[in-house]
Chain A
Amino acid sequence: MASPIASGLSSSAKQQGTSQYVGFELAGQKYICRIERIQEIVIPERVTTIPEVPAYVAGVSNLRGTIIPVIDLRLLFGLPAKPIDADTRTIVVNVGERVMGCTVDTVSQVVRIPDERIQPAPETVAAGAPRYVEGFARLGDDLLILLDTDHLLAPDNLDEVHRASRPTPPSAGDA
């Protein structure tokens, strides 16, 4: 699967000031996050739903003997749900001491991006949204959003992220 993200970058990758990122997609939008934060990427295991949690928490899953929560990033970002298919992946992220899973539509290869290509999030975007958007990068036709997973997935921030990322005002009858 030659991802458009991966291609076109490998040539300029070896210079100094280049970082590695894992790219993934949600409803057609491409995101990246820092590779140091990623523990592994797995095909979704059986997820057990748990009560008293918002819908974006898909449940908990067994990662080789450790029980990790699995966050459905689509629902967290207020996007419509999508059934699991062959491309669906769970990214296992280290958030401080915690290990958490994030379900995304698909994961592309690791990309190297020179640091100067990463632009900080514009004020207008940063003002409304919590600080989980660390910056943007343009690669060819693609606009990549760089996520700060530490901030995004801190359990105390999840609700705020969810509220802030709802595309429409919360009138759409979501109980």
Chain B
Amino acid sequence: MSDDLNLPADLSADEMGEYLRIYVDETNEQADSLVEMLLGLERDPHDPRRLAEAFRLVHSVKGSAALLGLDRITTLAHHLETHFERLRSGAAVLDPATTNVALRFVDYLRAGNEQLRRGEPLPPNEELLAAVETLGSEASSAAVRESDEDRPAPRPPVASPSAPAPADEEPQPTKLPAVAEPAPTVAVGPARPMRVTIHFRRGMPLAELKGELVIARLARLGAVVRSDPPAGRLATIADSGRLDVWIDAAADQAALREAADVDGAEGIEIGETVEVGVEPGLKEPAAAAGGEGRPDAQETVRVEVGRLDVLMNLAGELVVNRSRFVQVARQIAPTFRGAAASNRSTAIVEDMRHSLEACRDEIAAGASASGQLATLEKHLTALEEQSREWQEGRRHFDHMLEAIDQLTRVSDNLQRGVLKTRMVAVAPLFNRFKRSVRDIARELGKRVDLEIRGEKTELDKRMIDEIGDPLVHLVRNAIDHGIESADERRRRGKPETATLRLEAFHRGNSVCIAIADDGGGIDTDRIRQRAIERGLVTAEAAAGMSADELVDFIWQPGFSTAKAVSDISGRGVGMDIVRTKINRLNGSIDIATVKGEGTTFTIRLPLTLAIVRCMLFGLPHGVFAVPMENIRGIVAIGDSQIVAVNGRQACDIRGEFLPLVDIHDIFRWAEGEARLPLSGDVAVLHSAGRSIALRVGAPLGSQDIVVKSLDDNYRHVRGLGGASILGDGSVCLLLDVATAIDLAGGRRTRSITPQH
């Protein structure tokens, strides 16, 4: 029995780490509950609810451990489960000895989890195993009781002395996780392959993984010849409920049966077979990944994303509050900061003091204005007092500024920290594609290698959840429409196996995900033809369109890229939905395509959904925030740079003619139009390769804004990405630039057609 991690061969180190982490977290929770049940049963050994729950917990630990091939735990749990089944059915009564053994099991489980977390093998457990195995038999039960006499009955589960590996025990060699040892080819003789058929419960969760587990475990006993379903399609077990494995093995049936008996297996048949069809490539002892050790399962806490959202919002509020402080301080500053102010009052005091003295001297000679003098003196003193207080105040103000600086630092760090808790690597998301690329390619009869890069790049959890669907669509699209058939590729002198690259990387304040294929590129002639057919553009206009403009048509709703670009009919969502989804994440998507060489889609996403760095602009209806990454620049334009064609305006910005729009070309306002003066500043906005020049008032500076949705309390407004609260408590609107550019184009077209 090997007691290392014997993971299904196909799992990558990342997936492994992920499963291991989940296992450790889950079983620690289950251990806690089990202790609670055992302690309750101590008071009432017949409580059916607790007995059932304890049985369930042990069973579920067994299942999880079996999934990871942690045989030591599986075996222990198995025996314990058997005994608890007897207790539950009333065939036996829980005695203190059993409770003790169960608690020792919990201790062992916990100690084992600690070891796993550190990447070390499970400690040996012969003694405990012996105790568990003999549970239920009267004599042994007594024996156990005896040997356990010194242990006070149920005790808080601290590390059991029996659990950690004794020092003199030979340490287990640390094996690499993913190696499903293809057994040292035992079967030499003419041994016919045996067929092992495992029946699973249909719809069983994790069917794929369990199938892989079975194959990996069988592979230890002999050479697995093939399986049905084959290695790439194990997910179908969930539906078929059946897995056949042909194996060349000298091992006896019992051993095979034991190996195939994983959690969820409902029946196992073993028989000889005559059919031998060797499927190459099944037995890939998957990437033993050089000397890489077992991925550490760091200590983690699972937290509901909702709670992080709340924290995130609060941190955002704090940042807004802080900027309010900064603003108020800036307003007060002249009062205290202008040294002139307090100096002047000091000067006034001195002047008055002088004239007072002079006055007194004069009066000393003559009459009595002493009453008035006294009053004057009193006022003077008061003024001095005031002046001192003022200086005091100025010192306090300086302290306040320091405190605000401090607050700024803390709130920024807090915000960054909270943000960080939400960041997860894209690896699990990308790894999902290993299988689906293989499946889709097979389905379409193409050969595709998936190349994954930058899988350690981190992205907001929410974002990862949301981006999955668009990615699936783009990947499917790339294989379906982008990559040519092997024949075609051969004709074009390309390698028959195409390469699809999935890559994540940082660029500035955003994360990019690129899906690149080395296929045929987008056929712009077909798009042109299709666009004309669909009446989206006239033949003359289409003739004059650049490749980029033509490629843009694929974003049109209902513009079937399938029919336009290839003859295979498309399925699922259209490209317009992909783009809409990405836009709603405040992201953008660009296409770069070269005919005959391939297409790259680049999705650009902000690091987080919640905070966007924006430039603020004054517009007739209020303050607008525009994400920094959509701004190419702010330019002052004069009348000479503006040309009007056909009722539309364009302006010449450094030699490039861009549509010149104002906010009314993008949005309709109930209050009618308050036009800005004709010349002035324009912000050059861009998204997905298109640009417009938007008339704006003076820029009001840039800041991080906490994006709040309008949909929560009202509804989505096309062209707005949400709203935010500014330092002064007012609401500013966030422009969704990609949609705004669409709207500007649409509205302008609409306004020149007479049907309005």
- Hey, which bits of chain A sit against chain B, CB under 8 A? 45-46, 48-55, 57, 59-62, 65-69, 98-100, 155
Contacts and interface: CB of A to CB of B under 8 A. Distances in A.
7 contacts: A48-B621, A51-B669, A51-B720, A60-B723, A65-B317, A68-B713, A155-B714
A46 to B, nearest CB: 5
B667 A52 contact: yes
Interface of B: 313, 317, 621-623, 663, 666-671, 708-710, 712-715, 717-720, 723, 725, 729-733
Contacts of A155: 714-715
Contacts of B719: 51-52
Contact of A50 (B710, B713, B725): B710
Contact of A100 (B313, B713, B729): B713
- 5 residue pairs, one from A and one from B, having the closest CB atoms: A51-B667, A55-B670, A69-B714, A48-B731, A98-B713
A70 B713 CA distance: 10
Given A52-B719, A54-B670, A67 B725 contact: yes
Nearest to A60: B731
B714 A62 contact: no
B671 to A, nearest CB: 6
Q: Majority SS of interface residues in chain A?
A: strand
Nearest to A51: B667
Nearest to B717: A52
Nearest to B663: A51
Given A52-B668, A98-B714, 17 more contacts: A45-B729, A48-B730, A49-B621, A49-B622, A49-B670, A53-B670, A59-B731, A60-B714, A62-B729, A62-B731, A65-B725, A67-B710, A67-B723, A67-B725, A100-B713, A155-B714, A155-B715
Residue from B313, B710, B719 having most chain A Cβ neighbours under 10 A: B710
Nearest to A156: B715
A69 B713 contact: yes
Contacts of A99: 713
A49 B719 CA distance: 14
Contact of B668 (A51, A62, A67, A100): A51
B323 to A, nearest CB: 14
A48 B622 contact: yes
A69 B709 CA distance: 11
Contacts of B621: 48-49, 51
A53 B671 CA distance: 10
Contacts of A98: 712-714
B669 A62 contact: no
A70 to B, nearest CB: 10
Contacts of B713: 66-69, 98-100
B741 to A, nearest CB: 15
Contacts of A57: 670, 714
A69 B710 CA distance: 8
A45 B728 CA distance: 12
Contacts of A59: 731
A67 B731 contact: yes
Contacts of B708: 66-67
B730 to A, nearest CB: 5
Nearest to A46: B730
A144 to B, nearest CB: 28
A52 B313 CA distance: 27
A49 B713 CA distance: 15
Residue from B669, B731, B732 having most chain A Cβ neighbours under 10 A: B731
A45 B317 CA distance: 18
Nearest to B723: A67
Contacts of A45: 729
Contacts of B666: 51
Contacts of A65: 313, 317, 725
A46 B720 CA distance: 20
A57 B715 CA distance: 12
